[in-house]
């Protein structure tokens, strides 16, 4: 049976084994409720040239709203030493697309799969994977996977992606952390929650290497002042102080 003929349900035994791989890798056996992968607090970016994101000027410096997925993307793209073609799933108005294309001349094409017909952005809009005529080097999915059932993401995104990625492609994906108090319930359009070990397992079905980071964005003074109490209080309640998860998946597994 080929990859495209299997459903996620039919691969449950593999998912279960990969969940165990995640738990063992991050030292969280027996089955965890909190903790696990590395946790990091992210702060707004400071620099002299930060557009096209909104920024506030303080003397010669600009302070810009660079959430965790943006900072991870900037770091990963800075390491790429070759021309790259990018596909973003759910790019919205394309703020990240504009930033990456402005910062990195190596981005030779930026494709976007955006379901909202009223939104346009600085990317080449596509509706289906079969419109991709050349292999893709980087896939970005920022806060979109949780808006669909896992079966849909697997069958309609992960499986078709396997046919259009280069052998050394990578995927950057971010989702809310459901182990934080109220995390998945903050948006009624969130239909699927993924604890970090399930997020890891799902992406490992399609990539040989997956790295997970738990994130918390400190974007104002109250979040800065509340950071330490948040870490202490959630630990006492066996909850997670981080609000997000970011995955960097490398080396796509070719379809069988």
Check if the beta carbon of residue 44 is closer than 8 Å to that of residue 65.
Answer: yes
Domain count, the chain: 1
The pTM is what?
A: 0.91
Using one digit for the tens of pLDDT, what is the confidence trace for 209-222?
999 999 999 988 89
Q: What are phi and psi of 144, to 5 degrees?
A: -125, -30
pLDDT tens profile 134-170:
999 999 999 999 999 999 999 999 999 989 999 999 9
> 185 lies in which domain range?
3-252
Greater pLDDT, 33 or 236: 236
Q: Which of 134, 198, 209, 201 is nearest to 171 (CA)?
A: 209
Instruction: Say which CATH number the domain at 124 has.
Output: 3.40.50.150
Mean pLDDT, range 63-91, rounded to an integer: 93
Alpha-carbon dihedral angle through residues 112, 113, 118, 124, given to the nearest 10 degrees: 30
């Amino acid at each position: 049976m080929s990859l495209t003929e299997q459903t996620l349900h039919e691969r449950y035994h593999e998912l279960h084994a990969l969940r165990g791989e995640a738990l063992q890798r991050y030292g969280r056996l027996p089955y965890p409720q909190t903790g696990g992968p590395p946790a990091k607090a992210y702060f707004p970016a400071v620099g002299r040239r930060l557009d096209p994101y909104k920024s506030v000027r303080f003397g010669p410096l600009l302070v810009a709203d660079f959430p965790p997925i943006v900072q991870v993307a900037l770091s990963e793209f800075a390491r790429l030493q070759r021309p790259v073609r990018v596909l973003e799933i759910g790019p919205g108005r394309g703020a990240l697309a504009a930033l990456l294309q402005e910062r990195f001349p190596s981005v030779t094409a930026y494709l976007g799969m955006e379901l909202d017909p009223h939104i346009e952005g600085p990317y080449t809009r596509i509706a289906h994977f079969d419109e991709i005529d050349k292999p893709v080097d980087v896939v970005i999915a920022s806060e979109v996977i949780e808006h669909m059932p896992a079966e849909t993401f697997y069958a309609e995104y992960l499986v078709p992606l396997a046919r259009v990625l280069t052998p050394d492609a990578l995927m950057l994906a971010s989702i809310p952390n459901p182990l934080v108090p109220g995390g998945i319930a903050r948006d009624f359009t969130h239909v699927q929650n993924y604890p970090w070990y399930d997020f890891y397992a799902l992406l490992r079905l399609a990539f040989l290497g997956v790295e997970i980071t738990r994130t918390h964005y400190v974007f104002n003074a109250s979040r800065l002042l509340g950071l330490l109490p948040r870490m202490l209080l959630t630990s006492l309640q066996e909850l997670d102080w981080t609000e997000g998860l970011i995955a960097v998946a490398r080396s796509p597994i070719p379809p069988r």
